[in-house]
Structure 1
Amino acid sequence: MPDTMPDADLEPAGTDRAGTAPVGTADAGAVEGRPATPDERASMRLLGVVGGLVLAVLAGFGLGRITSGGVAEPAPLPAATGANAVHTDAPGVAPHTHGGTSGGTSGTATGVTVGGNPAAGDVGGLMVGSADFRLVPAETGFPAPAERAPFRFVIQAADGTPVTDFAVVHDKRLHLIVVRRDLSGYQHLHPELAPDGTWSTELALPTAGAWRAFADFTATTATGAQVATTLGVDLSVGGDYAASPLPAPAPKVTAGGFEAEMAGTPALGSVQPMIFTLRRDGATVRPERYLGAYGHLVVLREGDLGYVHVHPEEQLTVDGAVKFWLAAPSKGRYRAFFDFQVDGVVHTAAFTITIG
């Protein structure tokens, strides 16, 4: 509110909006043109005391909300915790909440809040279990590299029973991310859920060594709450392992015949925009909607493979680019996997990010 009101709102002192003497300027000892009785005078004094107390409380509340600079202090963002703190949202908005209902076609259950404070530095996927759920794979060891390897797993509730009630998030009830420990071989899969709670899919494990599988889902706990969670488990493929070096950071990469450009500088402790532009033969290409959005971005940290799933803006920029918001959890090197769809075909552009 400005320090002074507009001139049109100024009125002669001692009058109200109707042009009569305002309340409080008349003789406090008169009531409707006659002298007030002792009881009426006592009632008036009581009302005056009560009114003064109310004004004092309101004034104290207002002063408590003002900082030394005279600006109302914003409410702190809730801290992100545990396996659920894996999503980053645009600044100036509430933590990411999913709409829709369990079993629907898009979104997820109403009231599910993911993330909290994106600058808190939390990542997901580091644990095989949380307070509410546990990822239990049927197999974790594969004898040799294979282009098609069956993979089955169950998400167990805290009491050990298989979970079957999953909310639909980005058009799917569960997103399975698989990558080798050296951050190569990225895959974004959507397993099928059997009535008994078993998820099944086929993995591409073409090279020997250590791999990591992440299950990103929203499910119902025993108390009926919807909880968004990312759990991770190690996989191993037999044979001689040779780690691939992480590619050097570059703003432009190629994927499926497209040039993908990443613009933006992630920073510790603050959410920064990351903009991805696609070009083909020098012309900008607008991606199609894929899984309910114009793109998906998974960021994995080198070393422990800390997992951050970054949500995009609802619409493309005026230039046809996809904008995400990212808060770097810590210093180090990261691999950012940008999934996009053009002409009905999904491609992945991978970028290396260094946070100093």
Structure 2
Amino acid sequence: MPGMDHMASGNGLSDRQGGYRLASDGTTLPSGKQAAYRFTVTGSDGKPVTDFALDQTKRMHFYAIRSDLTGFQHIHPTMAADGTWRADLSSLAPGSWRLFASFTPNTGTGEGKDFVLSRTVTVPGDAAKSPLPAPATSTQVDGYTVTVKGEPMAGMAHPLTVSIARDGKAVTDLEPYLDTYAHLTAFHEGDAAFAHLHPTTKVTGDHGGPDLTFHAELPTSGNWRLFLQFQTGGTLRTAALTLRVG
């Protein structure tokens, strides 16, 4: 199962865990334009870590989410020789944002373990919040209908099945993306706790779908905002829906 050997512990709401720390001087980012966020991951010796293992083809996954769970971004930053990472973010709306770094050290005390650390930044301006959409089993993006089946319970491992259709027909031309046919991330309403739902559908060729399975282990009950990323025709698409966890 792709990614199942790297199961992150914790909810990602701290900037330090297991001797590792997400460090940055950035506390604000500009509104309405692209911005670069620079950070390092330091080890127990206080020095920047520079050796990271590949996880779903990348050495670092970086996420940005606004406090009302809008504005989701998932990017793959670049690292300089001194261990400083640069994450190039698209336009941000005013408000409070939480920035997550997901990584696996390749050496040191945390070698082979998956970590998710985060920090918050403020984007100045009128920060009107958007209400969270009601829980639903399906959503649409770019003419595609994404349906989620499964009733996860808090703190329990549970499979989720995602089906993708277009114009009422099953989609079978999903292209591989990050060594899978779709990438699924979830954030908890209220505190923006992080969860990466690991794919269990193996990539067997250049075309996948329509049904994909994920290992879901959401630690807290309540509403979770799911972001499913999939690629067709060379275009990456992001579908979002709210899932209620009992």
TM-score normalized by the length of structure 1: 0.64
Corresponding letter in the other structure for 2:18: A
1:182 shift after superposition: 0.4
| 2:233 equivalent to 1:343 | yes
Contact 1:294 1:340 in 2 (8 A): yes
| 2:36 equivalent to 1:147 | no
1:140 shift after superposition: 2.0
C-alpha separation in 1, matches of 2:93 and 2:36 = 15
Higher alpha-carbon deviation: 218-227 or 245-254: 218-227
Contact 1:316 1:323 in 2 (8 A): no
Corresponding letter in the other structure for 1:226: G
1:205 shift after superposition: 3.8
| 2:159 equivalent to 1:307 | no
Q: Name 1:114's counterpart in structure 2.
A: 7
Corresponding letter in the other structure for 1:328: L
Q: What's the secondary structure of 2:18's corresponding residue?
A: coil
Higher alpha-carbon deviation: 322-331 or 157-166: 322-331
1:319 shift after superposition: 6.5
Of the two structures, which has the highest relative contact order with CA contacts closer than 8 Å and spacing of 6 or more?
A: 2
Contact 2:201 2:214 in 1 (8 A): no
Q: Name 1:258's counterpart in structure 2.
A: 144
Q: Name 2:245's counterpart in structure 1.
A: 355
1:282 shift after superposition: 1.6
1:222 aligned to which of 108, 125, 148: 108
Contact 1:132 1:221 in 2 (8 A): no
Corresponding letter in the other structure for 1:337: F
State percent identity of aligned pairs.
37
| 2:112 equivalent to 1:204 | no
| 2:179 equivalent to 1:289 | no
Corresponding letter in the other structure for 1:114: M
Q: Which runs of 5+ in 2 are unaligned?
A: none
Contact 2:227 2:238 in 1 (8 A): yes
Corresponding letter in the other structure for 2:222: G
1:221 shift after superposition: 4.5
C-alpha separation in 2, matches of 1:295 and 1:306 = 21
Contact 2:40 2:84 in 1 (8 A): yes
Tell me: CA distance 1:319–1:309, structure 2 relative to 1, closer, same or farther (3 Å): closer
Coordinate RMSD, CA, aligned = 2.2
1:316 shift after superposition: 7.2
Corresponding letter in the other structure for 1:252: S
Instruction: Give the strand-richer structure, 1 or 2.
Output: 2
Q: Which runs of 5+ in 1 are unaligned?
A: 1-88, 98-112, 116-121
Contact 1:175 1:216 in 2 (8 A): yes
1:349 shift after superposition: 0.8
C-alpha separation in 1, matches of 2:55 and 2:238 = 20
1:345 shift after superposition: 1.1
Corresponding letter in the other structure for 2:189: E
| 2:22 equivalent to 1:135 | yes
C-alpha separation in 2, matches of 1:170 and 1:202 = 20
Contact 1:157 1:221 in 2 (8 A): no
Q: Name 2:156's counterpart in structure 1.
A: 270
Contact 1:297 1:309 in 2 (8 A): yes
Q: Name 2:120's counterpart in structure 1.
A: 234
- Count, aligned residues: 242
